[in-house]
Amino acid sequence: MPIKARYVLMASMDVDPDKDAIFNEVYDQEHVPYLLEVPGSCR
């Protein structure tokens, strides 16, 4: 899929291994769905 935006936002995080499962759960089930609700998001 070609990128149509003028900018790309990238982020990285260091997550403790013992918190990895809860981080992924929150990220996948809350963070990403909320981002996809933003008008103009890559859906």
What tens digit of pLDDT does each residue of 16-37 get?
999 999 999 998 999 888 888 8
For 15, the domain range is 1-43
Tell whether the model's pLDDT for residue 5 goes beyond 90: no
Domain total in the chain: 1
Separation in Å, CA 24 to CA 10, 14, 29, 30, 38: 17, 12, 8, 10, 21
At 25 the pLDDT is 93
pTM: 0.56
Evaluate whether 32 touches 39 at the Cβ level (below 8 Å). Answer: no
